[in-house]
């Protein structure tokens, strides 16, 4: 697997949703994949899918909220593959509640995965990205660019991701590493499904109709942007925030 002329991509949150779609998209363009997720069973299924389709991927189970765990996963990937040139940080969780309705533990859990997890992944992969003059992409959210009623912790964490990515772009752009962020709106993923537990099909359809394109995104559509931002075609894009949200944050919209 030590084929250093090939792209070596590390993807977190790879067991499902956007992370899974990103892994498949990067594998399709020939990247060697290091798949990271705390869901060992789920991420091994993705590994099998990629390898069955002719790709090359390996699993490194890790908890992105734990520095030692992330470091061991990154070290394991480098020891096996030899380098890292692309990082896409997709790991995230959602907890709903106002500051009064949610517990302190729920707050800490969301910040730990969404924000601290992104920071730890950047911290432990940046030395390798500096060597390869690679690219870092973080999945934020439209909730990272505006508020959302009842999503206090989630919004705070995703706003933080944008601040982090902009600092990465400033700090390490001069050294050849590009860092960018993607802000989806609702995406058809298991995590988003949890936000609609207990609601009716009509209520979900109402939210879909709030998007000018009239539907939620497919994970593959977010993966397309991640693939672009980590490609040679995006060689001058650094510190950018891309809304991939069907126009949801473009302005006031009435169906």
Catalytic: 154? yes
Exposed / middle / buried, residue 145 (Cβ in 10 Å: 0-12, 13-18, 19+): middle
Exposure pattern of 44-54 as b/e (b: 16+ CB <10 Å)?
bebbeebeeee
Identify the active-site residue in 154, 207, 228, 252. 154
The Cα 180–Cα 40 span in angstroms is 28
C-alpha 220 chain-centroid distance = 12
Q: What is the DSSP letter of 214?
A: S
Nearest to 241 by CA among 141, 98, 133: 141
Sole residue written with tokens 């470091």: 71
Catalytic residue IDs: 154
């Amino acid at each position: 697997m030590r084929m250093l002329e090939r792209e070596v991509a590390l993807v977190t949150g790879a067991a499902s949703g956007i992370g899974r779609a990103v892994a498949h998209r990067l594998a399709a363009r020939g990247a060697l994949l290091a798949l990271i997720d705390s869901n060992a069973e789920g991420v091994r299924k993705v590994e099998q899918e990629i390898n069955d389709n002719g790709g090359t991927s390996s699993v490194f189970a890790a908890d992105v909220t734990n520095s030692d765990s992330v470091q061991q996963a990154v070290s394991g990937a480098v020891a096996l593959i030899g380098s890292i040139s692309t990082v896409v940080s997709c790991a995230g969780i959602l907890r709903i509640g106002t500051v009064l309705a949610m517990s302190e533990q729920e707050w800490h859990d969301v910040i730990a995965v969404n924000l601290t997890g992104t920071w730890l992944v950047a911290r432990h992969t940046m030395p390798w990205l500096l060597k390869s003059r690679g690219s870092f992409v973080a999945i934020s959210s439209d909730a990272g660019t505006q508020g959302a009623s009842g999503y206090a912790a989630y919004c705070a964490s995703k706003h933080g991701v944008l601040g982090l990515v902009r600092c990465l772009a400033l700090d390490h752009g001069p050294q050849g590493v590009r860092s960018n962020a993607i802000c989806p709106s609702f995406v058809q993923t298991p995590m988003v499904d949890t936000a609609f537990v207990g609601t009716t099909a009509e209520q979900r359809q109402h939210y879909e109709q709030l998007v000018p394109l009239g539907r939620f995104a497919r994970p593959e559509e977010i993966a397309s942007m991640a693939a672009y931002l980590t490609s040679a075609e995006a060689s001058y894009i650094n510190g950018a925030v891309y809304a991939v949200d069907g126009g949801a944050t473009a302005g006031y919209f009435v169906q």
